[in-house]
Amino acid sequence: MVGMTNCTDPDDEDDFNDWYNRVHAADVIRSPYFWNAQRYRKLEGDLTRYAALYETSLGGSEAFKSYMTWPERVSEMHPRITNVHVWSFDFFAAL
């Protein structure tokens, strides 16, 4: 599963990234639905500034739906998060 985000205030970017890494991504990995996450920062182009790749064995859309209704989920989002897009993919081929 891929999540795309932006921080709305450059002055809060460090706090945003700290929250994302220590709270949000840690919570996702702590859930029984995902087992790994990696974050990426955009180098150029018009997409959102950050991308996160979450690995799951359930299939992205099933894992995402399960996580969103997981009773232990930390549901508070950072006040500066925007442009949240989530795409789910199923495994296609090992190259």
Can you give the residue ranges of every domain in the chain?
2-87
Give the pTM: 0.84
Domain covering 2-87 in this structure, CATH number: 3.30.70
Contact 74, 66 (CB under 8 A): no
Nearest partner of 34 among 61, 9, 13, 11, judged by Cα: 61
Residues in the chain, total: 95
Contact 2, 53 (CB under 8 A): yes
Nearest partner of 54 among 38, 66, 67, judged by Cα: 38
Question: pLDDT in tens for each of the 95 residues of the chain?
Answer: 899 999 999 999 999 999 999 999 999 999 999 999 999 999 998 889 999 999 998 877 889 899 999 999 998 889 989 878 888 887 789 89
Q: Which amino acid is at 52?
A: A
d(CA 9, CA 23): 19
SS3 content of the chain, % helix, strand, coil (to 5): 30, 25, 40
